[in-house]
Structure 1
Amino acid sequence: MSAELLYASMEKLCKLHKSLYELAVNKTDIIKTGDMDALNQLLKDEQSHIAAIDRMEKERQKAAKALAPHIDQPTVTDCMDRLSTAEQDKITDIANKLVQQVFHLKEQNNLNQQLIHNSLQFVNVSMNLLRPQPENINYGPPKKNKKSSEKSAQGMFNSKA
């Protein structure tokens, strides 16, 4: 019974991660076009997916705890000892799918992060070109003209005399 719950929760996690990956791919297109309204809506959708993933992860932890009650926070690997060979194969397959899905999601999020970083750099360069640069208003020694710098190089004492 608990093995079925563990498998079901992991399968739902896999589906949710796949859906989140599809949102990340859509985000790439939205970032490229620069549609801020669509990006805001997509971010809201991502937040709801993340909340659902968090709920499913808690269910997976509860199912794993039922299979391995002697461990505080059991992992899927900890539960494998208590499963039959067929159940182990089934759980291993879905776990591998989940790992692969998370890896693809991570790669897509890295791409999106780089695109956003490049967009922000472009905006900063454009802003710096449009606004005038203020003069240096820091305190410091006054600018010297060439004649005064020659005199100061000689100093007050003339050693040739």
Structure 2
Amino acid sequence: MVHDLINVMKAMVSMHKKLNDLAIDKQNTVKKGDIKALERVMKEEAPIVQQLRKLENTRMHLIDRWQDEKGLVKEAVTMDQLLPLFPEKERTELEDWSVKLIEEMIRLKEQNDLNEQLLEDSLRFVNVTLDSMRPQNTYNNYSGTGPSGDEDDFRPGDNSLFDSKA
């Protein structure tokens, strides 16, 4: 059973590496502004995330089963707390894969934070661009409503006193 846990940890590291590669692809597509490529990357991510969820459930099930076999209490226990209870050979290998998994998860979090910032900056740029393209009413005094919200006598398109023929 410990070997099953090691295999699950290996698979989780592999899946996180794939997500990290896709996160870098996502960064490049955001920089280029390539929406189609961004959609493709996001579609590629979905099954990997789903597989990771399954692997995490399997990992938790294996640890629960191992704790049952050893007669251990199942309170919120971390891998660091469990590692000393494994045989020496498996402990070392589990420790190595646990460290690799944590490193990949940290790398993914950092890349996702960067991508989030890039997307926010892109949205901000789009909003500024859209705002600059909207017509601005520079003559607020002639907006058609007075300070009380009532309609003024002046309506755009009406002939004013200054539109008389000479």
| Partner SS for 2:135 | coil
Amino acid at match of 1:89: T
Confirm or deny that 1:119 pairs with 2:119.
no
Alignment of 1:89-108 (within 5 A): 89-108=92-111
Confirm or deny that 1:13 pairs with 2:12.
yes
Aligned to 2:112: 109
Alignment of 1:1-161 (within 5 A): 2-69=1-68, 70-71=73-74, 74-134=77-137, 135=140, 140-141=147-148
Structure 1, residues 54-94: CA drift from partner, whole Å, max 9, x if none? 00001111111111123155432343243111111111110
What TM-score do the two structures reach when normalised by structure 1? 0.80
| Partner SS for 2:20 | helix
- Say what the alpha-carbon RMSD is for the aligned residues: 2.0
CA distance in 1, matches of 2:50, 2:127: 34
Q: Residues 132 and 74 (structure 1 numbering): CA distance in 2 closer, same or farther, change over 3 Å?
A: same
What TM-score do the two structures reach when normalised by structure 2? 0.77
Identity across the alignment (%): 29
Aligned residues: 141
CA distance in 2, matches of 1:16, 1:72: 27
| Partner SS for 1:132 | coil
**Structure 1, unpaired ranges of 5+:** 143-161
**Structure 2, unpaired ranges of 5+:** 150-166
Structure 1 stretches of 4+ with a deviation exceeding 3 A read: 72-75, 134-142
CA distance in 2, matches of 1:6, 1:43: 29
